[in-house]
Structure 1
Amino acid sequence: MPSSTPPKLPDLYVNDGQLPLGMTGLLKPTDPYSASVAEMRESLARDGYLFLKGLLPREDVLRTRERYFDMLSPTGILKPGTSEMDGIFDASKDPGDYPGFGTGKPGTGTALSDQFMTLALQSHSQSWYKDDFCKHPAMISFVEKLTGWGKNTGSLDRTLLRNNVPGNKAIGVHYDYIFLRHGDDSVITAWIPIGDVEVEGGGLIYLEKGHELGKHIEHEFTQSAISSGMTEEQARSAFNTNMMSGGVLDSGPISFGTKYQRRWLVSAYEAGDVVLHNSYMIHASTMNYDKENRIRLGTDLRFVDTSKVWDTRWAKVYEDGDGL
């Protein structure tokens, strides 16, 4: 591991235990309204991510959070007497009844869990989310300028609106191109926390120089697929025999970071922040240990250059069991 002094952080937990301080660093923030486009392009290419502070209007982000939890409130997910915007989990409930998409846990199978999954899926198609938030003009115009794609910038309709209640499993180690192999690898992801997220509150973590390692791993996957006799279609699948269940590289960030001797970069996030990362950037999340039991809500938006081949499977709103 690098020998630099680790940052002062609270205890952080991932799927395979407590993250050692020597395995952590801090994400580098960028002010999108003072940095030049050239500077930001250079940072994205060098680091694999761009942590943009206050790119989106805070009130728009919080309004989306409020609407989401208003829609999900019939499931009893919120602590009685608290507001939808605060999004405080009712700790008397079983966290397993409120699973987050992409964590490999589909729910407990109870009537409550089924109700929650139904409403959480329906939230993806609500106009206040898929139109007002996912196509927010501040987001679209920024990506158009940063990438230079201009009006060839495509915002993919398939997104993942994920909640992470305290006590649930975190997101495993992966890079996004695993799931978007039917198109060019220039795709850009915007991870947007929908609300404030303390550093221990379950936000995304990024492997230092993870985009370089991700590209190398993808090359190894491709070569392995060819040598094993897979068809081109089989090799493109995120769930081919070279991958773990769910398309992840590893369920545990500690074991993965130890294997490759790299740190995980972490941060607290505020409503309005956006992290852009390239398609090979390796990332995961921490478990949510927010002191006030706030539910971490966030979404993954993808942007493509429509003048190139792009993964058209992502041209529709997320559906349960869509195979992606």
Structure 2
Amino acid sequence: MPHAESPEAEQIFGGEKLFVNDGPLSPEEWTDLTPTTLDTPIEEVRRRFREDGYLFLKGLLPRADVLKAREEYFKLLAPSGVLKPGTDPVDGIFDSSKDKLDFPGIGAGFTDSNGRPTGPHPEVAQCFVDLALQAHTEHWYKEDFCKHPALRDYIAKLTGWGDNTLGIRRTLLRNNTPGNKAIGVHYDQIFLRYGEDTAVTAWIPVGDISRQGGGLIYLEKGHTLGAEIETQFTKKAKASGLSDEEAKNAFNQNMMSGGLLADGPSEFGKRYNRRWLLTEYEAGDVVLHNAYAIHASTINHDPDNKIRLGTDLRFVDQSKPWDTRWGKDYAFGDGV
């Protein structure tokens, strides 16, 4: 993308490459994500989650546990050639002599309908993508990381679900190599449509992510807008005579490819006159957000060429209806 490499834009905005898929974010288009510390009283935490649609929790997970998962991930992916020779796998430094397009991120909008991503040299991309998919079922990830008691216990307390708190099996472990396409604008109920709208997503940066490093960004009060979009479309669909099931399918068919509200966060934020919230993340931080919180990501322009790694874990109240399509491991073309 030519705009993503524009030296003029970089100079205008003070030297930080804060880019999204449709160009740079000007200073007027963003502000800081508000952190919440672990000693914040639970009633205040619940108020923030209710009013903001998200919680940016500092240090919820032990840093060492997160870095161990990052190390295991890049040790697994090292045979693909993605890492700079002579660097430590835990650092996840991209080999910039390689074509970035041969290392496409899973679930970042490269293909429609959750298909297999590829690159200009299919044999290279296939190795990389196969290993990235394999990581979802490795014990260090699926058992040690995804089922971390500190995360589940906090969500159980926040929601009041207690023993009914279920971390659902399908997760999305995403890498994003420097300069590659970022995640477009969406909210999670689009993908969890066959259950109640009470699911909680835990987005976890697996390692430190600089402010320029491709981390998640949230639309200010985006959860209210997401709920409005959902309600308005449902009303129109039912008024036209569609059943509940037909309305669900029709909604997704009217999204962009891959279930997006928009590919470009900059234009989307301007259209609704809302800023994007962004920050730097440290290993151990977790962002919890509700089913309607609108989010996207920036393009990874980390100054040290670090690969951004993060995962989406979803939690539901298993005593109530939830989208059981998510009860199996992530797979390409699984229809979710």
Matched, 1:48 2:60: no
Residue 236 of structure 1: how far off its partner (Å) = 2.2
Shift in CA distance, 239/80, structure 1 to aligned 2, threshold 3 Å: farther
| Partner AA of 1:306 in structure 2 | Q
- Check whether the contact 2:23–2:266 (CA below 8 A) recurs between aligned residues: yes
Correspondence for 2:144: 132
In 2: Cα distance, 1:226 partner to 1:104 partner: 30
TM-superposed deviation, 1:225: 2.8
**Residue 64 (1) aligns with residue 69 (2):** yes
Whether 1:122 aligns to 2:134 is yes
Gaps of 5+ in 1: 1-6
Partner of 1:17: 23
Partner of 1:301: 313
Match of 2:198 in 1: 186
Deviates more, 1:56-65 or 1:113-122: 113-122
Structure-1 residue corresponding to 2:270: 258
What is the Cα deviation at residue 161 of structure 1?
0.1
Could you list the per-position Cα deviations for residues 182-239 of structure 1 after superposition, in whole angstroms to 9, with x for gaps in the alignment? 0010000000000000000000000000000000001122123334554533432487
What does residue range 279-318 of structure 1 map to in structure 2 within 5 Å?
Answer: 279-318=291-330
Q: Decide whether the 8 Å contact of 2:194 with 2:323 is kept in 1.
A: yes
**Alignment of structure 1 residues 68-87 onto 2, 5 Å:** 68-87=73-92
Letter in structure 2 aligned against 1:115:
C
Judge conservation of contact 1:156–1:302 (CA < 8 Å) in 2.
yes
* Deviation per residue, 1:111-164 (Å, 9 max, x gap): 010111111111101111011000001111111111110000010110000000
Aligned residues: 317
If the length of structure 1 is used for normalisation, what is the TM-score? 0.95
Distance 2:148 2:76 in 1: 21
Distance 1:225 1:200 in 2: 40
Give the corresponding residue for 1:4. Answer: none
Alpha-carbon distance between aligned partners in 2 of 1:288 and 1:104, rounded to the nearest angstrom: 15
Counterpart AA for 1:148: G
Partner of 1:322: 334
Pick from 23, 33, 58: which aligns with 1:27? 33
**Percent identity between the two aligned chains:** 60
Post-superposition offset of 1:93: 0.8
1-structure distance, mates of 2:89, 2:296: 27
Amino acid at match of 1:206: Y
Deviations 1:166-195 (A, max 9, x none): 010000000000000100100000000000
Q: Distance in 2 between matches of 1:40 and 1:8?
A: 34
Amino acid at match of 1:30: T
Distance in 2 separating the partners of 1:289 and 1:110: 25
After superposition, the C-alpha distances for 1:19-63 in whole angstroms (9 at most, x for unaligned) are 01101110110111x101111000000111000000000000000
d(CA) in 2 for partners of 1:24 and 1:301? 26
Q: Post-superposition shift, 1:9?
A: 8.4
Are 1:49 and 1:278, in contact at CA under 8 Å, matched by a contact in 2? yes
Deviations 1:222-275 (A, max 9, x none): 123334554533432487332111100000001100100000000000000000
Q: Is the 8 A contact 2:106 2:129 kept in 1?
A: no
Rounded Cα–Cα distance in structure 2 between residues aligned with 1:238 and 1:163: 30
Query: Does the 8 A contact of 2:103 with 2:129 survive in 1?
Result: yes
> What is the DSSP-based 3-state SS (H/G/I as helix, E as strand, rest coil) of the residue aligned with 1:131?
helix
What are the equivalent positions in structure 2 for 1:82-101 lying under 5 Å apart? 82-101=87-106
Could you tell me which residue of structure 2 aligns to residue 110 of structure 1? 122
- Supply the RMSD in Å over aligned alpha carbons: 1.5
Instruction: Give me the whole-angstrom Cα distance separating, in 1, the residues matched to 2:241 and 2:90.
Output: 52
CA contact under 8 A between 1:178 and 1:238: conserved in structure 2? no
CA contact (8 A) 2:136 2:330 kept: yes
